[in-house]
Amino acid sequence: MALRFAEPAREAYHFPLAIGHLLDAALLSSADQEIVYRDQMRLNYRKLRERIGALASVLTGLGAQEGMTVAVMDWDSHRYLEAYFAIPMMGAVLQTVNIRLAPAQIAYTLSHAKAEILLVHRDFFPIVEAILPKLPSIKAVLAITDGADVALPHFAAGEYERLLATADVGFAFRDFDENAIATTFYTTGTTGHPKGVCFSHRQIVLLVLNAKAPFGVTQAGGLGHGDIYMPLTPMFHVHAWCVPYIATLLGVKQVYPGRYEPQTILELREREGVTFSHCVPTILKMVLDAAAHKGTDLSGWRMKIGGSALTSALCKEGRNRGMTLISGYGMSETAPTVAVARLSAGIQDEEAQIAAMTVSGVPIPLVSARIVDQNMRELPHDGKTQGELVLRAPWLTPCYMGDPAASEALWRGGWMHTQDLATIDPDGTIIIRDRLKDVIKTGGEWLSSLTLENLVASVEGVSEVAVVGVPDARWGERPIAAITSTAALPPDLEAINAPITSAIARGELSRYALVDRVEVLQAMPRTSVGKIDKKALRTLLGQQTPQPSGAGR
């Protein structure tokens, strides 16, 4: 039996890993530090703490209590930051609602999570009005008019700022078990209903402590004292990767952009001096296009990129505009950060730097990662052998809510299954080669759609690219490229295949890798979180008559 403390002092404080404690050090050392919301609000950490107390008082007045789910539908704002703290600190569960889902899906997630109180921005009043009749468990709706002089809807119990203004800031938060659930949200699966994941106070605090300064990027990309932070990953999406919590822990200046509009984002960055953000490649592309349009220099802006792979072409585009871009890896089930690319100070060569910055990353502390075959046998870390990436860390979701079969599959063999196909280099660098289900199986070989996409992205005239496998009677599947292009004459099949041909000549790809067809689309089909919807693409491209497969095979 391992020994435990036999006689702790009666009054010794047992410090729980609770979200409220993330504020302790910052309130001491950064009480006057600013938090900015667009043009509408400037507060500081001292005021933030008061407003957290006031929000808890308001919610309690609306009937909130420990164990209850309180849902938020808002854009990125100081209000969301307040909810990130106040709701879990009350012992309630914060549900961050994905406002990009269809109304019926939003209703499903609210109902499934048993939300009883709803905070809702005026932009979503119509949706809420439509779904509220189907949600009898909702006891109260707190409306957010966001500075506009609009009438409150009939279903609202009050307005956010108006109620906070007169609420008691001295709400008596109490300590409770660090394993209490703090947050929940729903992942947008490509099949069936969205799946609910949830995270405890302990899990979020441990992720925050481990992700706050991932080794490897301390010299070039970590968030630290002196930085100015603005999220560009929606706060409903995996807690904006927990970075608002990290920024608050560090006591840095924070800037919240509201609804993402490229013009506002660029103005806020310049006016407030933003140095650190994070987003998916789609948002990065939007920001870069807007900056290119105005010729804006983005020097001094470091950005973590996740959600899907950062291509070399996009990385280069960002660098040309002065940005430092760093890849990260994670998923909804992992809260999300698991790995971050490591920039060694020693790397001088630009291509080598880009290569280092666009890999999926090196595990952050307390992450244990393996690649395994279908029988959970561990595979070598040789940078070549591909297997499913499986993980252990203190902050992985232990289940999908109300879906025991999916939960058991997620944790088969005591490791969390990412369903991502990866290699691990001898130096620990994890490179995601593909989603297991997005791998293209052709002629008895597996082709990584990500590798092909990275090559095609470098072709002149290609704005975006997705490569999917469509059924083929002879080869099983064949790769088809879908692109968008702003060029007057979009690249043809030969141009698209040129870099793939070179890679085949260099022995890096099999000769099965040439794409059979290129489709130029007006826009990519997307999931609710802005990722390219490959399931929809496979359906779309599979329905069209395939041309004959490439000759010579």
CB of 407 to a second copy, least distance (A): 4
Q: Which is nearer to a second copy, 382 or 508 (CB)?
A: 382
Amino acid in position 415: W
Q: Which is nearer to a second copy, 393 or 440 (CB)?
A: 393
The answer to the question of residue 149 lying near a second copy (CB under 8 A) is no
Q: Which is nearer to a second copy, 176 or 446 (CB)?
A: 176
Count of residues that interact with a second copy, criterion CB under 8 A: 86
Are 547 and 475 spatial neighbours (Cβ–Cβ below 8 Å)?
Answer: no
**Which position has the token pair 């490179």?**
431
- Our CA angle for 74, 76, 79, nearest 5°, is 70
Binding mask 482-521 for a second copy (x = CB under 8 A): ----------------------------------------
CB of 270 to a second copy, least distance (A): 20
Q: Which is nearer to a second copy, 28 or 150 (CB)?
A: 28
Task: Give the chain's end-to-end CA distance (angstroms, integer).
Answer: 65
DSSP 480: E
Which residues in 448-477 contact a second copy (CB under 8 A)? none
C-alpha separations of 453 from 26, 312, 313 in Å: 43, 10, 11
Are 336 and 187 spatial neighbours (Cβ–Cβ below 8 Å)?
Answer: no
Which residues in 229-248 contact a second copy (CB under 8 A)? none
Copy the structure tokens of residue 328: 């990260």
The answer to the question of residue 115 lying near a second copy (CB under 8 A) is no
Q: Which is nearer to a second copy, 413 or 471 (CB)?
A: 413
CB of 57 to a second copy, least distance (A): 19
Q: Which is nearer to a second copy, 40 or 344 (CB)?
A: 344
The answer to the question of residue 204 lying near a second copy (CB under 8 A) is no
CB of 98 to a second copy, least distance (A): 21
The answer to the question of residue 249 lying near a second copy (CB under 8 A) is yes
Binding mask 310-349 for a second copy (x = CB under 8 A): --------------------------------x-xxx---
Which residues in 162-181 contact a second copy (CB under 8 A)? 176-177, 179-181
The answer to the question of residue 424 lying near a second copy (CB under 8 A) is yes
Cβ-based burial of 426 (10 A; exposed 0-12, middle 13-18, buried ≥19): exposed
Which residues in 46-75 contact a second copy (CB under 8 A)? 66-67
Nearest to 272 by CA among 236, 229, 311, 317: 229
Out of 73, 115, 206, 518, name the contact with a second copy by CB under 8 A: 206
Beta-carbon neighbour count of residue 293 at 10 Å? 11
Helix 243-250 vs helix 78-89: crossing angle, to nearest 10: 90
Nearest to 394 by CA among 227, 156, 200: 200
Which residues in 350-409 contact a second copy (CB under 8 A)? 362-369, 381, 392-394, 396, 398-399, 402, 404, 407-408
Copy the structure tokens of residue 110: 């609210």
The answer to the question of residue 213 lying near a second copy (CB under 8 A) is yes
Out of 136, 192, 295, 414, name the contact with a second copy by CB under 8 A: 414
The answer to the question of residue 136 lying near a second copy (CB under 8 A) is no
CB of 473 to a second copy, least distance (A): 40
Out of 91, 196, 234, 387, name the contact with a second copy by CB under 8 A: 91
Polymer length in residues for the chain: 553
Out of 73, 128, 198, 532, name the contact with a second copy by CB under 8 A: 198
The answer to the question of residue 299 lying near a second copy (CB under 8 A) is no
**Which position has the token pair 């020693």?**
346
DSSP 530: S
β-pair partners for 174? none
Out of 297, 427, 492, 508, name the contact with a second copy by CB under 8 A: 427
Which residues are known to be catalytic? Answer: 187, 333, 441, 446
Beta-carbon neighbour count of residue 220 at 10 Å? 18
CA 364 to centroid of chain Cα atoms: 16
**DSSP per-residue codes, 48-102:** HHHHHHHHHHHHHHTT--TT-EEEEE--BSHHHHHHHHHHHHTT-EEEE--TTS-
Are 257 and 94 spatial neighbours (Cβ–Cβ below 8 Å)?
Answer: no
CA separation for the pair 548, 545 (Å, rounded):
9
CB of 383 to a second copy, least distance (A): 13
Q: Which is nearer to a second copy, 243 or 468 (CB)?
A: 243
Q: Which is nearer to a second copy, 374 or 545 (CB)?
A: 374
Which residues in 11-30 contact a second copy (CB under 8 A)? 11-15, 17, 21-22, 24-25, 28-30
